[in-house]
Structure 1
Amino acid sequence: MGGDKIRKDKRQKREDYRAAIRKEGVSELPRKKFYRQRAHANPFSDHQLIYPPHPDQMDWSSLYPDYVVDEPQEQPTPAPETPSDLDLAPLRPKRISQEVEVADIGCGFGGLLVALGPLMPGTLVLGLEIRVQVTQFVEDRIKALRVQNQDAQLYRNVGVLRANTMKFLPNFFRKAQLAKVFICFPDPHFKARKHKQRIVSTTLNSEYAYVLRSGGVVYTITDVPDLHEWVVQHFEAHPSFERVSEEEQEADPLVNVMRTETEEGKKVERNKGQKYVALFRRLEDPAW
C-alpha cells in the first residue's frame, strides 16, 4: 500500500508540474524528469492517434500560429431540409502561408528541432514523435523558447506532432512536399524478428521517396554499425535514391548540427562512441 501511495504521489506531482508549465506565458524550459516515458513504443500497436484522411485536411494552424493566413469569412448558407454528405464533410482547416518542408522523424526530446529552427528561419520544420510524454515535452519546450525569444521572433517555424510515421506519413505530406528528412539515432531493434520495426526498409523508403521532392535529402545517423549498414544497403538498393558523396556530406553544415545537437548524439559523445552518417538524395523520376 505504501508503494502505491508513493507512485500515486509522484504521478500527481508530474501532472501538476506539466499543467503549470503549459500555462500561457510561462518561459521556464521543461525538465525531463516530469515527462516519464518508456524508451520505446511498438509502431504496430494501436496508439489511438489522430491523423487527417488527406494532407489537404491537416490543420497546421495550432503548430504554426504565426503563419496563419487571414481569410475572409464565408457567409453561412441555410441548412438543407434533409441531411447530405456535404453536411458531414469536415470543416476546412485554416490555411498557413507556406508548407512544412523539413521533417525530423522520431525527433525524441527535440534537440535537433530547436537547433534547426534559428538556422532555417524561412522554413517550417516539423518533429514527428510517437511517444505521448516525449511529444508533450517538446511542445512545452518550443512554447517556452518562443516566450524567451519573443523579441527575436525565434522558434515560430518549429512544431511537433504525435504521429506514427510507419503508418501515416502520406496522410500529412503531399507528394514531393519535403526538402529534407532527418532520421537520427532510430531504435536499432537488434533482434532479427524485430527488424520489421526498423524505420528504414524497402517499403518505408518508397514512402520517403513519395514525400520528398527531386533533389531532396534523407539525413541518417546512428551509433550502431549494423544498423548503419542496414540503412545504407536499403537506400542504395532503392531506385529513387543515390548516396551523397562523403565530400559533399561533410560540406553540408546540417550534418554537424545532426551530429552534435540531438540528445542521443550528445550521449554518444559523452561515452566516446562512434557516429555513422549517411545521406541519400532523391533522384528525379524517369519519364514514363
Structure 2
Amino acid sequence: MGATKKDRRQKREDYRAALRQEGVSELPRKKFYRQRAHANPFSDHQLIYPPHPDQMDWSSLYPDYVVDEAQDQQTPAPEAPPDQLSAPLKPKRISKDVEVADIGCGFGGLLVALGPTMPDKLILGLEIRYSVTQYVEDRIKALRLQNQEAKLYRNVGVLRANTMKFLPNFFRKGQLSKVFICFPDPHFKARKHKQRIVSTTLNSEYAYVLRPGGIVYTITDVPDLHEWMVQHFEAHPSFERVSEEEQEADPCVEIMRTETEEGKKVERHKGQKHVALFRRLEDPAW
C-alpha cells in the first residue's frame, strides 16, 4: 500500500526540520517543497508586513549587516502609566538599505546568481508561495554555510510577501536601484489580466520605490505578455524603454536570461526569451 497524503506531508516536514538543524549545509531538494505553480494575489494569505518601511526589521534576513548600537547612556525616560499602551519595539538597524528586488523570485535562481556579482548591495527576493519561500530560505542558509570563508550570499535574503498589495510597506520612496520581474504568471484569460504583475497601477508603485535612473528588468517566454509589459511601461510617464544596445551591454541581462529556473526550462524546450528594460525618469518639476 502506497504512502498516504498525510505520510508524504510528514516526510516533507521531517526533511525540512532536519535541514534546518544547526550546521547542516546540504542544499535543499525541491521535491520536499511541493507547491502549486501559482497563487491568487487577491486571496488573504495571512501575510505579515510592516505598516511603514521604517518599522521593518531586516536583521533576521541580513544578520551580517546589523549595526551594533551601544546602549543609550542618557537618563531613562520616566515610567509610563500602567494604563498606557507600551510603544512597539524598535527594529534592529542594518548598515545598508535593500537596493535590489526580485519580484516573484521563485526558487531563487536569480538571487543566488546576483549575490556574488553585487557584493556591495543587499538583494531581496519576494515570493508569495509559502513552501517556495521556505525552499529559498534553506537554499540561502546552505550556501552561506558552504561559503563561510568567502562570506558569500550574506547580502541575499528572501521574504514571503504579496507585492501587488504591500510593496510600499517594505520600501521607501526611491530606495531601489533595480527591480526584476522574471517570467511572471501570464494569466492568459482576459478576465485574469487584472492579476498580471505589470499594470498601470502597479507601474506607479514601481516608480515610487525606484530612484531616478533605476531599472526595471522584464523577461518572459510569452510574446503576448511581453507586448503587454512593454505597452504598459512605455505608456507610463515615469518610465522610458532602455535601448537594445544598452540592454545587451548590461551584465544583469545575461544572468536573468540564464540563471532563473524558468529561463533554464525555456532553454531546454528551445523557446524564445523576450527581454525589455525600462528606466525610471526624473520627476518633472512642479
- Tell me how far apart the structure 1 counterparts of residues 60 and 78 of structure 2 sit (CA, whole Å): 29
Counterpart selection for 1:264 from 253, 257, 262 = 262
Q: Deviations over 1:229-272 (max 9, x none)?
A: 00000000000000000000000011000000000000000000
Q: Could you tell me how far 1:77 is from its partner in structure 2? A: 4.4
Q: Distance in 1 between matches of 2:216 and 2:147?
A: 30
Deviations 1:164-189 (A, max 9, x none): 00000000000000000000000000
Equivalent residue of 1:11, what SS? helix
- Asked if 1:32 is matched to 2:30, the reply is yes
Aligned counterparts of 2:186 and 2:125: Cα–Cα separation in 1: 19
Aligned to 2:84: 84
Number of matched pairs:
284
In structure 2, what is the Cα distance between the partners aligned to 1:83 and 1:254?
54
Q: Which runs of 4+ in 1 moved over 4 A?
A: 75-78
Tell me the SS of whatever aligns to 1:161.
Answer: strand
- Equivalents in 2 of 1:116, 1:132: separation in Å? 22
Decide which of 240, 245, 248 is 2:243's aligned counterpart.
Answer: 245
Aligned partner of 2:153 in structure 1 is 155
Per-residue CA distance 1:62-90 (angstroms, 9 max, x = gap): 000000000022476453234335x1x31
In structure 2, distance between residues paired with 1:81 and 1:127: 42
Q: TM-score, normalised by structure 2?
A: 0.97
Stretches of structure 2 lacking an aligned partner (at least 5 in a row):
none
Name the CA distance, whole Å, in 2 between partners of 1:209 and 1:171.
14
Deviations 1:10-57 (A, max 9, x none): 111100000000112111000000001010000000000000000000
Alignment counterpart, residue 133 of structure 1, candidates 120, 131, 134: 131
User: Which position in structure 1 is the counterpart of 2:96?
Assistant: 98
Q: Aligned-pair RMSD on alpha carbons?
A: 1.1
The 3-state SS of whatever aligns with 1:44 is coil
> Which secondary structure does the structure 1 equivalent of 2:4 belong to?
helix
- For 1:208 and 1:80, how far apart are their aligned partners in 2? 41
Mean CA deviation greater in 16-25 or 127-136:
16-25
Aligned to 1:143: 141
Inter-partner Cα distance in structure 2 for 1:130 and 1:69: 29
Report the 3-state secondary structure (helix = DSSP H, G, I; strand = E; otherwise coil) of the residue aligned with 1:81: coil
Matches within 5 A, 1:162-241: 162-241=160-239
Provide, for residues 179-205 of structure 1, a one-character-per-residue CA deviation record: whole Å limited to 9, x for no partner.
000000000000000000000000000
Taking structure 1 as the reference length, what is the TM-score of the superposition?
A: 0.97
